[in-house]
């Protein structure tokens, strides 16, 4: 039985939100977990309420009715739309940036302007669309608004495809290197690093096929121990958070930098104003310390002195997606084998599922996220894939090469991977 404590409301319904709910449900001092709208996985550890994450007014009414001490907003949509402001103005503690600060994700032009003002290295802006280059839609595009062009034909196709979206196009230099996701927990001034991760955006093995919301992730990333992450946070996150504070729009929440580690040093590809999905599923199992305390401290501008630790164990997450993802979702196909996967020690996060009576069925594009931990990335990976084999639904597809390169590449220098705690 739980002792009376904090009631937390999580806004969102994906695998990221299930991972947040799972982590927070274990925290000492958390009385209950609520989600709006949540999903069947979250319903096993908390209470789900039929309120959309984008509906600020109903979310506020729900937060008041439940008397929650903290609201955590998962997805970018409600953040960019200003849902955090609505709650905060009503006196509710919110983990998630204001509309003004969330523009760092909502507008690529704004992000570039902030980066330049803060003196943070980033992909250079180009005046003309000439290969090689990257064409980006300025606003939110659910991961579908970036076109990496190596040939003139690809540039032409990108300009046509980009024109479908609202808002202008941004052109930038094409960067080469290793891509990493680096996360900082922010209270408006202070930034605490979380574990880094890599995600897999393309649908197919070997990074082929269309871009997706993400087909898998793993953490830690070879060569990025605590010292290196701290350097990246100092180079990228702290100047940006300082610049946003200077503008009177302090950033409260997770500042997620997509970085390219180029031969000329790290450069920013993009910012997100929230936890990554599916990176969070690999990061949170490794996180130690008082997570709910840290989120509350961030929400109240009081993160200085808060310490979180990172477990040296590795985590790998494989996304099980619908047959025709990302072009179309699947609904109503029965899902079996989750308990068997969990028996192997894996965590199974729901991303696009629904419950009809006793049956769990598909309800989306990315259906489940299977996460496993292990002493090494290789061990975590093996366990994650064994667990995936236990789960079935009609047309289930997943990449077979999540974290494969990390396992095959020569090991990092002694002590680097395991120096994070």
Q: Which residues make up the interface to ligand AMP (CB under 6 A)?
A: 123, 134, 143, 146, 148, 172-175, 179, 201, 258, 269-270
Which CB, 281 or 362, lies closer to ligand GLY? 281
The two tokens of residue 133 are 């280059």
Residue 312: helix, strand or coil by DSSP?
coil
- What is the per-residue binding string for ligand GLY in 33-62, x denoting contact by CB under 6 A? ------------------------------
d(CA 101, CA 106): 9
Which of ligand GLY, ligand AMP, none lies near 382, with the C-beta cut-off 5 to 8 A by kind? none
Place of tokens 């393309």: 202
Q: Does 172 bind ligand GLY (CB under 6 A)?
A: no
Following CA atoms 375, 379, 385, 391 in sequence, which dihedral angle do they give, to the nearest 10 degrees? -50
d(CA 86, CA 59): 9
d(CA 234, CA 190): 11
Q: Are 256 and 97 in contact (CB under 8 A)?
A: no
Which of ligand AMP, ligand GLY, none lies near 42, with the C-beta cut-off 5 to 8 A by kind? none
Q: Does 199 bind ligand GLY (CB under 6 A)?
A: yes
Distance of CA 251 to the CA centre of its chain: 17
d(CA 271, CA 106): 9
Following CA atoms 348, 351, 352, 355 in sequence, which dihedral angle do they give, to the nearest 10 degrees? 50
Which of ligand GLY, ligand AMP, none lies near 172, with the C-beta cut-off 5 to 8 A by kind? ligand AMP
Which of ligand AMP, ligand GLY, none lies near 420, with the C-beta cut-off 5 to 8 A by kind? none
Which CB, 162 or 276, lies closer to ligand GLY? 276
Q: Does 276 bind ligand GLY (CB under 6 A)?
A: yes
Read off φ and ψ for residue 336, nearest 5 degrees.
-130, 160
Which CB, 201 or 418, lies closer to ligand GLY? 201
Q: Does 145 bind ligand GLY (CB under 6 A)?
A: no
Read off φ and ψ for residue 100, nearest 5 degrees.
-65, -40
Least distance CB 3 / ligand GLY (angstroms)? 34
Which CB, 134 or 283, lies closer to ligand AMP? 134
Residue 258: helix, strand or coil by DSSP?
strand
Q: Exposure pattern of 263-293 as b/e (b: 16+ CB <10 Å)?
A: eeebbbbbbbbbbbbbbbbbbbbbbeeebbe
Interacting stretch for ligand GLY, rule CB under 6 A, among 236-244, 270-278, 339-347, 368-376? 270-278
Among 85, 86, 138, 277, the residue binding ligand GLY under the rule CB under 6 A is 277
Which of ligand AMP, ligand GLY, none lies near 187, with the C-beta cut-off 5 to 8 A by kind? none
Instruction: Give the gyration radius of the chain's Cα atoms.
Output: 20
Residue 271: helix, strand or coil by DSSP?
strand
Read off φ and ψ for residue 77, nearest 5 degrees.
-50, -60
Which CB, 146 or 322, lies closer to ligand AMP? 146
Least distance CB 1 / ligand GLY (angstroms)? 36
d(CA 260, CA 370): 26
Least distance CB 134 / ligand AMP (angstroms)? 4
Both ends of the chain: CA-CA distance in Å? 31
Among 272, 281, 362, 371, the residue binding ligand GLY under the rule CB under 6 A is 272
Which of ligand AMP, ligand GLY, none lies near 276, with the C-beta cut-off 5 to 8 A by kind? ligand GLY
Least distance CB 237 / ligand GLY (angstroms)? 16
Which of ligand GLY, ligand AMP, none lies near 179, with the C-beta cut-off 5 to 8 A by kind? ligand AMP
Verify cis geometry, omega within 30 degrees of 0, for the bond prior to 278.
yes
Pairing status of strand 359-364 against strand 330-334: antiparallel
Which of ligand GLY, ligand AMP, none lies near 55, with the C-beta cut-off 5 to 8 A by kind? none
Burial of 143 (C-beta count, 10 Å sphere; 0-12/13-18/19+): middle
Least distance CB 285 / ligand GLY (angstroms)? 16
Least distance CB 329 / ligand GLY (angstroms)? 18
Least distance CB 137 / ligand AMP (angstroms)? 9
Residues that contact ligand GLY, how many (by CB under 6 A): 6
Which of ligand GLY, ligand AMP, none lies near 148, with the C-beta cut-off 5 to 8 A by kind? ligand AMP
Nearest C-alpha neighbor of 158 from the set 177, 139, 132, 178: 132
- Interaction residues for ligand GLY, span 209-228 (CB under 6 A): 214
Residues in touch with ligand GLY (CB under 6 A): 199, 214, 272, 276-277, 279
């Amino acid at each position: 039985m739980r002792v009376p404590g904090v009631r937390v409301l999580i806004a969102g319904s994906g695998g990221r939100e299930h991972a947040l709910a799972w982590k927070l449900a274990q925290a000492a001092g958390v009385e209950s977990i609520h989600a709006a709208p949540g999903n069947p996985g979250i319903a096993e550890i908390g209470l789900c309420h039929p309120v959309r994450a984008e509906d600020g007014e109903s979310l506020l009414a729900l937060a008041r009715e439940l008397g929650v001490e903290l609201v955590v907003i998962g997805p970018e949509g409600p953040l960019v739309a200003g849902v955090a402001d609505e709650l905060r103005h009503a006196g509710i503690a919110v983990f998630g940036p204001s509309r003004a600060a969330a523009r760092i994700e909502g507008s690529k032009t704004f992000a570039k302007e902030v980066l330049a003002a803060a003196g943070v290295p980033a992909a250079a802006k180009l005046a003309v669309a000439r290969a090689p280059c990257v064409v980006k839609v300025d606003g939110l595009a659910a991961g579908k608004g970036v076109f990496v062009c190596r040939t003139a034909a690809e540039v032409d196709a990108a300009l046509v495809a980009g024109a479908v979206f609202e808002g202008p196009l941004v052109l930038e230099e094409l960067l080469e290197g290793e891509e990493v996701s680096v996360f900082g927990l922010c209270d408006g001034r202070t930034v605490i690093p979380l574990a880094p991760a890599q995600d897999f955006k393309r649908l197919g093995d070997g990074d082929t096929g269309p871009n997706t919301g993400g087909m898998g992730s793993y953490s830690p990333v070879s060569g990025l121990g605590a010292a290196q992450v701290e350097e990246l946070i100092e180079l990228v996150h702290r100047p940006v958070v300082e610049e946003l504070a200077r503008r009177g729009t302090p950033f409260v929440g997770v500042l997620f930098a997509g970085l390219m580690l180029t031969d000329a040093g790290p450069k920013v590809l993009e910012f997100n104003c929230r936890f990554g999905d599916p990176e969070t599923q690999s990061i949170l199992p490794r996180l130690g310390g008082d997570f709910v305390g840290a989120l509350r401290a961030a929400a109240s501008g009081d993160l200085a002195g808060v310490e979180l630790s990172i477990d040296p164990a590795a985590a790998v997450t494989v996304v099980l997606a619908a047959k025709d993802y990302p072009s179309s979702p699947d609904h109503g196909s029965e899902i079996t084998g989750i308990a068997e996967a969990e028996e192997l020690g894996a965590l199974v996060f729901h991303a696009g599922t629904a419950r009809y009576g006793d049956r769990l069925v598909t309800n989306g594009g990315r259906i489940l996220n299977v996460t496993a931990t292990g002493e090494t990335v290789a061990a975590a990976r093996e366990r994650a894939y064994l667990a995936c084999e236990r789960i079935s639904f009609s047309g289930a597809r997943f990449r077979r090469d999540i974290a494969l390169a990390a396992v095959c590449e020569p090991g990092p220098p002694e002590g680097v991977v395991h120096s994070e705690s």
